[in-house]
């Protein structure tokens, strides 16, 4: 059994609430010491991806995938990049389509199952002349992409990909979307939909194929995915998109040592998002369920400035 129930994480006593643990890092954490160099690569469908490199001269590269409406400059990405740089890893933090400050060039944008873009980034990372190994690190939506990429067998997983670590993963998208529509998550839903609306409006300016479709009436991810994500990416509806894009169904096939960490009190995750049976079946999957941590939280206060999630990821990758 590779379900780790005795986690080493313990939240600071004054930050024990699940919403506080989720919100605090985004509002108050500032991460210094990461220097990015941007590179733009082209995709096979004529779009582009902006990659931010933080290099220390190592042959080992960690590829970081952010969450919904995130980017390479979010504190959880910067914190992980800094911790990995300190451990002698080069870092490639990539921005999903439309998340680098510029609208993407095609009507297709990013979504929870778009592993073709992760494959393009991983292939580019492996093509560097000094590359000796790759680690994949994903958060939330980026974690779902990572697990799906490793297990779906659409792309051959290179032997250069040695390990993976993912945090706070909604690996069952249907239950996760229902969870996000709960009243106690309304503050997050409003924030995500407001950000997505800005993105849709920006795309409308340059792409006549994108229409408003009464966006102001959209209140849930189901309505957004029915209206935009599904039709723009070849799915019949939100339910088909969730079913095909959920990573849980692919976990049995993962052959790379992978650590999945999701807090028991994560407000975004419903019970099906914790793949306990899959972890029992697959010796390559290590499922760690701390009792606390919120969604992409795992706050720690120490002299290094590292959060527990960052130290945990480095420990797993170095073991």
- The residues, ordered by sequence, that sit 6+ positions from 146 with a Cβ below 8 Å of its Cβ are 65, 118, 136, 137, 138, 164, 166, 247
What pLDDT is recorded for position 4? 81
Residues 6+ apart with CB under 8 A from 271: 175
Residue-level pLDDT at 113: 95
Encode pLDDT of 176-198 as tens digits.
Answer: 999 999 999 999 999 999 998 88
Q: How many domains does the chain have?
A: 1
pLDDT (mean) for 275-287: 96
Mean pLDDT across 264-293: 97
Reading the block at residue 103, the tokens are 């609208």
> Which range (15-19, 87-91, 171-175) has the least confidence?
15-19
pLDDT (average), residues 153-172: 96
- What mean pLDDT is predicted for residues 159-176? 98
**Any idea what the CATH number is for the domain that residue 312 is in?**
3.40.50.1820
Whole-number average pLDDT of the chain: 94
Q: Which residues form the domain of 200?
A: 3-318
């Amino acid at each position: 059994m590779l379900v780790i129930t005795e986690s080493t994480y313990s939240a600071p006593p004054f930050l024990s609430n699940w919403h506080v643990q989720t919100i605090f890092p985004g509002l108050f954490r500032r991460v210094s010491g990461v220097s990015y160099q941007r590179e733009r690569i082209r995709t096979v469908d004529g779009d582009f991806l902006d990659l931010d490199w933080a290099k220390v001269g190592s042959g080992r590269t960690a590829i970081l995938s952010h969450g919904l409406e995130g980017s390479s400059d979010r504190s959880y990405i910067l914190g992980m990049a800094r911790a990995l740089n300190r451990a002698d890893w080069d870092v490639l933090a990539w921005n999903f389509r439309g998340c680098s400050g510029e609208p993407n060039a095609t009507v297709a944008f990013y979504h929870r199952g778009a592993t073709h873009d992760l494959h393009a980034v991983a292939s580019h990372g492996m093509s560097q002349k000094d590359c000796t190994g790759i680690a994949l690190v994903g958060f939330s939506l980026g974690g779902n992409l990572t697990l799906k990429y490793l297990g779906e067998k659409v792309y051959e997983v290179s032997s250069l990909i040695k390990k993976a670590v993912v945090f706070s993963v909604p690996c069952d998208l249907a239950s996760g979307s229902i969870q996000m529509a709960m009243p106690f998550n309304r503050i997050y839903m409003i924030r995500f939909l407001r950000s997505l609306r800005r993105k849709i409006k920006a795309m409308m300016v340059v792409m006549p194929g994108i229409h408003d479709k009464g966006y102001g009436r959209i209140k849930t991810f189901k309505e957004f995915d029915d209206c935009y994500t599904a039709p723009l990416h070849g799915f019949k509806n939100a339910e088909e998109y969730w079913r095909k894009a959920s990573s849980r169904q692919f976990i049995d096939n993962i052959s790379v040592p992978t650590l999945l960490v999701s807090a028991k009190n994560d407000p975004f995750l419903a019970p099906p998002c914790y793949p306990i049976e899959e972890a029992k079946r697959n010796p390559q999957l290590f499922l760690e369920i701390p009792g606390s941590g919120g969604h992409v939280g795992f706050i720690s206060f120490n002299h290094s400035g590292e959060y527990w999630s960052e130290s945990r990821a480095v420990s797993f990758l170095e073991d």
